Amino acid sequence: MAQVIAAHITNRTLYFIVSDSTGQYWNGSAFETYNAANIATYDVAMTEDVGLGVYRGTFPAGISAGIYEVTVKDTETGTGTSLEVSDLVVAVASFAWDGTTLREDSNTSAINNDAQSSTDLKDFADDGYDPATNKVQGVVLVDTTTVNTDMVAEAPTVIAIRTEMDSNSTQLAAIVADTNELQVDWTDGGRLDLLLDDIPTTAEFEARTILAAAYFDPAVDAVANVTLVATTTTNTDMITAAGIDTVLTSSHGAGAWTTSGGTGSGARTVTIAVDDGTTAIESAKVRVTKGGESFLAETDVNGDVNSGSGFSLDDGDWTVSITAAGFSFTPVTLAVSANTDITYSMTQVSLPASSPTLVTGFLYTYDEDGVVEAGVTVNIRFITLAGTGFAFDTAIRTATSAADGLVSFTNLFPGADYELRRETNGTWKTVTVASDASSTFALPNFWGIDE
């Protein structure tokens, strides 16, 4: 009983199939051309030596003597445990079968599928090639030697090579001359040597400045003459002062034109300061508006707009709006007809008080032109607050902006997240009340549409 033995990972289901030299497969009773419908008849089961990963299967005794190819496959690598074309090939080997004994085939020479027998190989080794008995095609050798017709008869002498170089190289003499010149320059007192001698030492650099006389002595050092070339260009299209006055008068009316660093492009300098009646208010937003023109600036620590530069405005009636956290201001009209210096006082807002540990949040509403807007409904609702022990109501609260655009909400929790919305068409925006907020808190900016 001849066996096929294969090594593989343990606990698998292996089998082998047998094919002959013509590519036909053993179906249990005969060899046939591969037929997918008969694939289940091709396998020969193998059994594992328990836990060793060594699998054995009995070679079919009904197969006649010959050379056969054995392919070992693993059923568990396909889609199931049955025989499938997709099963993984574990091993492939060629065997010689004499009807009783199975041995691995050692006849590895094959030419055009005509296997070379061991007898043929032995005869070839003993007696040499005999075309009547040996199945090895003879090799015909062809002389491919190429005659090199341009090789010199013998190697030239050193003298001949030098003569050839002297007679053919037009640059050799120049190279030699330059080399000789360099050698002279490097000698003591030569040009290169003198250049190196003129480089100051580290100590000399540290002891004197670039302006020291040792670096340039007009008595002995020469400087090449420098020719100055006039590069002045006459600008023929510059507008004169009179021309500027004509343009400004045409655009803004007659007046005394002064230079201003303020916001705007008008001819009048309008300086504005903001206080609470006594103390300057810093970071107040001051906006002046006339028709389609609108300019915004901020006060400095002294309460001055644009650090005292103010606005540059044209003549006319301008609406002045001012906002500052914790203060209110009713917009006023400013008539501009000359340079103006004016101070506006804001009223400190008295926000409604919140319960202890809670804060009052506030903000100001503006219209699409950047002017404070009264009568705007603002919605707020509680979202979340980290911690334990509280149950919060998420009902929507509303408040309406006053004449100065102020809106406030009492009893907000420090550290909590809220959502704000303008009117009923706006988008909810999440804001966070600062965890260290106390008493009053300016709510973060948000936006919406009133329609």
- 188's tokens: 């003591």
Q: For the chain, what is the domain count?
A: 3
Per-residue pLDDT, 206: 67
- All residues at 6 or more sequence positions from 337 whose CB lies less than 8 Å from its CB, including other chains: 268, 315
Flag whether 8 is in a domain: yes
Q: 285 vs 122, which has greater pLDDT? A: 285
- The answer to whether residue 340 is domain-embedded is yes
Q: Report the alpha-carbon distance of residue 349 to residue 330 in Å, rounded.
A: 12
**What span, in angstroms and rounded, lies between the C-alpha atoms of 294 and 126?**
114
List residues bridging with 110 in a β-sheet.
Answer: 115
**pLDDT band at residue 65 using 50, 70 and 90 as cut-offs:** very high
Task: Specify whether 332 is located in the same domain as 367.
Answer: no
Looking at the predicted structure, is the pLDDT value of residue 260 above 70?
no
What is the pLDDT at residue 429?
A: 93
Domain match, 390 and 334 both: no
Do 371 and 343 fall into the same domain?
A: no
Domain span at residue 399 reads 359-442
Domain edge (last residue) among 111, 146, 177: 111
Spatial distance between the Cα atoms of 115 and 107, rounded to a whole number of angstroms? 7
In a domain, 135, yes or no: no
CATH of residue 290's domain is: 2.60.40.10
Q: Looking at the domain assignment, is residue 49 inside a domain? A: yes
- Asked if pLDDT for residue 76 goes beyond 80, the answer is no
Last residue of a domain, one of 279, 314, 348: 348
Of 348, 375, 393, at which residue does a domain stop?
A: 348
- Tokens 């640059």 — which residue? 171
- Residue 329, in any domain of the structure: yes
Query: What share of the chain has pLDDT > 70, as a percent?
Result: 78
Asked if residue 366 and residue 301 are part of one domain, the reply reads no
**Spatial contact of 90 and 6, defined as CB atoms under 8 Å apart:** yes
Return d(Cα 247, Cα 251) in angstroms, integer.
6
Does 341 reside within a domain? yes
Q: What is the pLDDT of residue 257?
A: 47
- Listed ranges 121-130, 247-256, 382-391; the one with the highest mean pLDDT: 382-391
Nearest-angstrom CA–CA distance, 42 and 31: 10
pTM of model > 0.85:
no
Q: Distance (Å, rounded) from C-alpha 43 to C-alpha 57?
A: 10
**48 pLDDT more than 50:** yes
Establish if 14 belongs to a structural domain.
yes
